Amino acid sequence: MTTGASDKPATVVERIKRDFKVINLGIFFDEATRDHPDNVAIIDLAEAKPRSYTYTELEAEVRRATQALASVGLRKNDRCIISIPNGALFLTAFLGALRLGVIPVPINFRLGADTMRSIMRDARCGAIVGSPRDTATCCDIADTLSLDVRLSTDEARPGWSDYCSLVAKQPGIHFVEPMAFDDIAFQPYTSGSTGTPKGIALTHGGMIWGIEHSQTYWPLKPSDRMIVSAPMFHKNAMRGSVKPTLRAGASLVILRNFDPRRYLQALADHKVTSCSGVPTMFAEMLRQTDLIESLDFSALKRISMGSAIVPPELIQRLTDTFKVSVRESFGLTEGGGAIRQPIDGRIPPQGSVGFVAPELEVKLVGPNGEEADEGECWIRSPYVLREYVNLPELTRERIRDGWLRTGDILRRDAEGFHYYVTRIDDMFVCGGENIYPKEVENVALKHPDVANVAVAPLTHDTKGFAPAAMVVLKAGRKVAEQDLQNFFAENGPAFAIPRAIMFVDTIPLNGAGKVDRPLIRRTMEERFGTLQSRGLGRS
């Protein structure tokens, strides 16, 4: 704009600092509660007996949770492990902690015991709200570490207090601890797929900014209904589904975990309008052809995929099956979603994750440190993490003058649309050729009998590394390994032909719901060992 500063519309940051009387992430849905008190906020299908909560009822539960946590001595800047499966109970405990200024540490309770112990020690947690029934290992570790406050959401356990009873007896008085914009709100840990999980310090102001920014430029309506089955301890579920839905006064359907048939049934039964998740999840759904043909998905309007490489062929299959808009998204725990759908209505080309969002800065940095049309994506916005917890050297390396180095390689076309290429550490060299797993996976998904695929590098006797593929076939289909390799030879470069193929029923996922590439690689290494030179297809 060329108008004077006084004529410019306020930015999201300016509006937050002007209009928010109190900065605290725990009250991000206050406006929805005020404007739509009787709307259904949550349909909780995670429990044996499903339950719905209006916004008024959800607010009352959060207030009681806040007081319950205060009653056991938790105060501002204390850290509290949240080890609860998906459901309203997770959400109310999480928000109650935020309102006290307590820093929730949502833990991936599917990790190994040593990793969870490392996280608890690193976070210096003194409290846990946990489910001994569903997250027993995590709760066992809390006992060995002698956490001062241990609250059980289900089974009785020596040294633990009954959290639900404690919440139920609270009068529900409203309390919110005022926080600074840059105060730490909560502290998730990365999935650890490439190493030890790292604590991510996300701020109250930055997280509120992310919610308000999304509702400003890509608003949901109170009539919308979203669904979440991805683990709520993972930022993708909270950023992509939970917070946008509740900010808008819309309805959120919660599943305990992902099961393709239960998910499809819930989509139809509850007239879900929008859903999001990782590509493997949708690939599994597409295999349930009998259910897809028998259910009514006419309410569904949008599908969004992210947190992993999205094959174009999968997008096309979903579009053809559900007759809806399918969007590829790009975001990360540390920096949010900096590249989004254009706000001017343009449709991104197939394979594009979108355009740089308003009020953010993005640059692609090549190997020489100069900006380029393909390179590592750097992001600068209020959303960017404050620091990597207890890792000052990593913080200095990854955050430079407010710019976050994401570790993701993106490409930008002449129109400004961006395309995800790979993680920096996913690329490998085969006989001098750079190979990106996504490119090999895209070829495989063109085969009419392939439902899903994951590619990893295995040691090769002459080429250093060579691609190997874990493949899921469509129901009832059979394909010989040599036939599939011939298909690669006809549809892609010779160096990208998988030297070994393992047929499986499902692609392994890690605790955050992403493709578990380290496990896939280890599994295929155990099966195939070092790959040997031999004639393959055109090669």
Mean pLDDT of successive 10-residue stretches along the chain, which has 539 residues: 55 93 96 98 94 98 98 97 97 98 95 90 96 96 96 96 97 95 95 70 97 96 96 85 96 95 97 89 90 96 77 83 89 90 89 92 93 95 96 95 93 94 79 77 89 89 85 91 91 85 90 78 92 57
Homologous superfamily of the 428-528 domain (CATH): ANL, C-terminal domain (3.30.300.30)
Ranges assigned E (strand) in 207-332: 225-228, 251-254, 274-277, 302-305, 325-328, 330-332
Identity of the residue numbered 484: L
**Domain locations along the chain:** 9-38+51-205, 428-528
How far does the chain reach from its first CA to its final CA, in angstroms?
Answer: 56
- According to the model, what pLDDT value does residue 314 have? 82
- According to the model, what pLDDT value does residue 534 have? 61
Query: What sign does the CA torsion over 7, 9, 14, 16 have?
Result: positive
Q: 233, 129 in Cβ contact below 8 A?
A: no
CA 205 distance to own-chain centroid = 20
- What class has domain 9-38+51-205? alpha beta
Query: What sign does the CA torsion over 285, 290, 293, 294 have?
Result: negative
Confidence (pTM): 0.83
Q: Are strands 428-430 and 433-435 parallel, antiparallel or unpaired?
A: antiparallel
- According to the model, what pLDDT value does residue 537 have? 42
| Token output for 449 | 């009998």
- According to the model, what pLDDT value does residue 512 have? 63
Residue 63 burial by Cβ neighbours in a 10 Å radius (0-12, 13-18, 19+) = buried
Q: 149, 126 in Cβ contact below 8 A?
A: yes
The CB density around residue 46, as the number of other CB atoms within 10 Å, is 23
Q: Residues with Cβ < 8 Å from 301, sequence gap 6 or more?
A: 273, 274, 324, 325
- According to the model, what pLDDT value does residue 511 have? 65
